Amino acid sequence: MDIRSKLNVTLTTLLAAALAACSPADKSHDGEGTATVVKSGEVNLYSSRHYDTDLALYNDFTEQTGIKVNRIEASSDSLIERIKSEGEFSPADLLITVDAGVFWRAENAGVLSSTDSDVLNARIPESLRHPDGLWYGISKRARVIIFNKGKGKPEGLESYEDLAKPAFKGRVCMRSSGNIYNISLLSSMVAHDGLDAAKAWAQGVVNNFQRKPQSNDSGQIEAVAAGICDISMVNTYYLARYARSDEAQNQEIFNNIGIIFPNQNDRGTHVNISGAGVTTHAPNRENAIKFLEYLTSESAQGYFANGNNEYPVITDSITSSAVETLGTFKEDTLNVSQLGQNQADAVRIYDAVGWQ
């Protein structure tokens, strides 16, 4: 079987799982082995996002541009490994995933290529994109402290650092240290406070645990609302889901939760991203950039804000989403690429202090 036949078989197998079946862009090779792209009016997404609202977003892009959107969904690590193993024959044009720490893994795997776009650079704040254009934030979320409103706001709790105070011993619930949200938060603290201070903080929080780390962000919200523990940390879009729910039980849970946007008197509240990056061997590179630029348009940002309760990355954008009702806040402007750079240190710290 020649190279073209093998390639066609590979691409057919890979994209059979896509909701919209397609014939991927073909690649021919000259005598030097250089790939030549034949444009085909489509873009192939490898995405770890699994939100229904994204389907409407894809349809909107096709209606605006005529470019067909094909997608494969899996976990972020699976997609990174898949793109890496497919090499130059990969049909993937864009990797879409959650958390800057995950993009660090993709960067180290060599599956992303630099993109220079005046549109993206103008619309997306510098802190929310890779310095070399390997990926761009397309939406954001804040990691906030929550407390049981019925018991009152814990005195002296204003910052992430305050969570380690002995006054809160036996009052704190948390997710596991292996969760990427917690890894990225500690990575930001390494950047701001240094390794020693970050380790002392992690040890202090462990000392304050009410129970062993468990569950997800929704589990933390429900535990705090029920009074199982007094304090926890969650991402804002989880809270907004409860706030906009039509179910009385979820409304009651939300009404029992108080929210603190940490570090408003200094660096600001930690934020992280969902993002996208053009792959190294993208067969439809121009379409991939068009799609990436579309994701920062007002209509696309509206889907993120109103459909999935995320903050838009473009300024003066959407103001009607449920997440906006949680309150305004000053956000940390640390470039989120550093969340990946400090990831290994954060994991070592968590292991050293026994944060399971």
Known binding residues are: 50, 237-238
Query: Do residues 170 and 208 lie in contact, with contact meaning Cβ atoms separated by under 8 Å?
Result: yes
Distances (CA, A) of 170 to 212, 257, 262, 281: 11, 18, 20, 51
Q: Which residues make up each annotated binding site for Fe cation?
A: 50, 237-238
Please report which helix (H) or strand (E) contains residue 257, including its range: strand 257-260
Please report which helix (H) or strand (E) contains residue 231, including its range: strand 231-235
CB-facing half-sphere around the CA of 49: CA atoms within 13 A: 24
Any idea what DSSP says for residue 306?
I
The DSSP line for 144-203 is: EEEEEGGG-PPTT--STGGGG-GGGTT-B----TTSHHHHHHHHHHHHHH-HHHHHHHHH
Distances (CA, A) of 43 to 23, 129, 229, 288, 306: 11, 22, 47, 6, 25
Amino acid at 135: W
Amino acid at 213: P
Please report which helix (H) or strand (E) contains residue 139, including its range: strand 136-148
Distance separating alpha carbons of residues 219 and 274, to the nearest angstrom:
22
